[in-house]
Structure 1
Amino acid sequence: MTSTQLLVEHEGACATVIISNPAKRNAIATATAADLVETLQGLDKNPDVRVIVITGEGDCFSSGGDLDEFLSTVSAGASVLWDTGEPWQKLFGLIPTLSKPVIARVVGPAMAGACGLVAACDFAYAAEDATFGSPEIKIGLFPLFILPALLNRMGQRHALDLALTGRSIGSADAARMGLVNAVVPKNELDQLINDQVQALAKLEPATVRRGKHAFHKISSTGAEEGLELARGLRPAFMCSEELRRGIEKFFNKKGAKA
């Protein structure tokens, strides 16, 4: 059984994590999920990295969970399955907690757990040939770990559509449903992502970190609780050195134009 590797490439302020196992359509086993957690945490601590991109090797983002592994665990027992669920729980809860933006670069299929990984990323950009789906129900499973990410991105109706029918959708429908930010021809995808990387890399890292934290905290509450959280989080932004520098830069630029 060939194992899936994670390749990490650095270019400027961007680190790209490549899910690599073309022979198995870049399948994600439990060990892969654990490696992704460790890799993303390591990149988040690297001060030279401002943005993280996740993609698959070749013409496939990922087929999702490793079915060979799933078959081998059918008789594993509840306690073993509880323990092996930990890396998956960590993976799909991790990205919102990272201090750096994470972008999914999607070419070809992004199915099952990989579809959830796309949903969990902060941004997702897809080539026109990309396809998405959560077909677990067709083999007697249900997309449990990825369901919170699908709900957050797509809302209840679209998430239930994918989860309960198991159907696949194209990139245009994925954009319409909120799963991806934008769809472009394949030969334009890397330029689109590079433009977004460059824009994000210019921002103050501390402000991005606080902003991501505030966004995910506020978006997970109701309107009244969100306003209370906003009031409590406000001093962290208003008293920051980043704000002082930003305002000084604004006035200096305005004075130069006068």
Structure 2
Amino acid sequence: MTYETLSVAVDRLGVATLTLRRPAQHNALSGPMIRELTAAAGKLGEDKAVRLVVLTGEGESFCAGGDLNWMKAQIAATRGERITEARHLALMLKALRDLPKPLIARVNGPAYGGGVGLISVCDAAIAVEGARFGLTETRLGLIPATISPYVAARIGPAAFLRFSTSARLFDTGTAQGIGLLSGVVAPEALDAAVEAEIVPYFSASPEAVAASKALAHALAPPIDGRLIEMTLTRLADTWETPEAAEGIAAFLEKRKAKWVIDAKG
């Protein structure tokens, strides 16, 4: 299968590298990329030659979150259209989370919003020192609704509450401390660290790995259709508020939103 926003390469050991390829846009999630990630997850899940998958980004960033043009399109969209687009993102994340094979994030740079969501659906994540992270939606008057089931499951309710409400950025040390990352290494050591994370899986039965992943998910609160629809409704409700209109306008106009206070002043 040919992709426009991704590349997929499988080596002789069955390691598939799934690379986000919009480096000029910091690998921001566009509509086409979301659809291609969903398709790629399905293909890789079915391919018996694939033992595990490494998810990474091309260029300086892992994933900057939502694409600017996607954001602009949502401004003019109807409530139903916004819910449909958000559902595509939710189902893409679920498809990656439910991949019946190990999914390892090779975090080559910063990740924000949906990028944090992508890391959260991976079984492990190794990041480069200096990378930054954030759930920055509230700066726009929005909420991280679609990614919330996956991020909260990964970092816990307390950490999700703190970072989703404040929109503060955090470093790799904090990300590892709250469980978002499994390891942090220097840029030149990233590939070796990812390989070290991968090697133990070659001794494990592929079918037992798939069953173990399914078991782990069954032990956690379910991320099912009902929960997904609830998050989509809450996101749609937030899009319709005056603060969302102001926050998005401020972002596009490259100015501070009206609620921003200079704490140093």
TM-score range, shorter chain: 0.7 to 0.9
Deviation at 1:220, TM superposition (A): 2.4
1-side partners of 2:112 and 2:120: how far apart? Answer: 11
2-side partners of 1:31 and 1:141: how far apart? Answer: 22
- 1:71 matched to 2:72? The reply is yes
2-side partners of 1:35 and 1:77: how far apart? Answer: 24
Q: 1:200-239 maps to which residues of 2 (within 5 A)? A: 200-220=201-221
Secondary structure at the counterpart of residue 125 of structure 1: strand
2-side partners of 1:202 and 1:22: how far apart? Answer: 35
1:104 is matched with which residue? Answer: 105
Q: 1:170-249 maps to which residues of 2 (within 5 A)? A: 170-220=171-221
| CA deviation profile, 1:79-128 (whole Å, cap 9, x unmatched) | 11122222111112223322101011112211110111101111111111
Deviation at 1:10, TM superposition (A): 1.6
More helix by percentage = 1
2:91 is matched with which residue? Answer: 90
Deviation at 1:4, TM superposition (A): 6.5
Give 2:76's aligned amino acid.
S
Q: 1:157-168 maps to which residues of 2 (within 5 A)? A: 157-168=158-169
2:233 is matched with which residue? Answer: none
2:9 is matched with which residue? Answer: 9
Deviation at 1:203, TM superposition (A): 1.1
1:46 is matched with which residue? Answer: 47
1:24 is matched with which residue? Answer: 25
2-side partners of 1:31 and 1:165: how far apart? Answer: 30
Secondary structure at the counterpart of residue 85 of structure 1: helix
Deviation at 1:176, TM superposition (A): 0.5
2-side partners of 1:72 and 1:4: how far apart? Answer: 20
Deviates more, 1:70-79 or 1:55-64: 70-79
Deviation at 1:55, TM superposition (A): 0.5
Give 2:49's aligned amino acid.
D
- 1:122 matched to 2:123? The reply is yes
1-side partners of 2:49 and 2:29: how far apart? Answer: 27
Paired residues of 1:4 and 1:21 also in contact (CA < 8 A)? no
Deviation at 1:202, TM superposition (A): 2.5
1-side partners of 2:220 and 2:139: how far apart? Answer: 32
How many residues get paired?
Answer: 219
Paired residues of 1:51 and 1:201 also in contact (CA < 8 A)? no
Paired residues of 1:26 and 1:57 also in contact (CA < 8 A)? yes
Paired residues of 2:5 and 2:32 also in contact (CA < 8 A)? no
Secondary structure at the counterpart of residue 193 of structure 2: helix
Paired residues of 1:4 and 1:19 also in contact (CA < 8 A)? no
Give 2:174's aligned amino acid.
D
2:58 is matched with which residue? Answer: 57
Deviation at 1:142, TM superposition (A): 0.9
Secondary structure at the counterpart of residue 75 of structure 2: coil
Q: Show structure 2 runs of 5+ residues with no match.
A: 223-265
2:149 is matched with which residue? Answer: 148
2-side partners of 1:96 and 1:64: how far apart? Answer: 18
Deviation at 1:169, TM superposition (A): 0.6
Secondary structure at the counterpart of residue 199 of structure 1: helix
Q: Runs ≥4 in structure 1, deviation > 4 angstroms?
A: none
2-side partners of 1:4 and 1:19: how far apart? Answer: 10
Give 2:18's aligned amino acid.
V
Kindly name which structure, 1 or 2, has the bigger radius of gyration based on alpha carbons: 1
Q: Percent identity?
A: 30
1:235 is matched with which residue? Answer: none
TM-score (norm 2): 0.79
Does 1 or 2 have the higher relative contact order (CA < 8 Å, sep 6+)?
A: 2
| CA deviation profile, 1:163-199 (whole Å, cap 9, x unmatched) | 1111111101100111111111111111111122221
TM-score (norm 1): 0.81
Q: Show structure 1 runs of 5+ residues with no match.
A: 222-258
Taking only aligned residues, the RMSD between alpha carbons, in angstroms, comes to 1.5
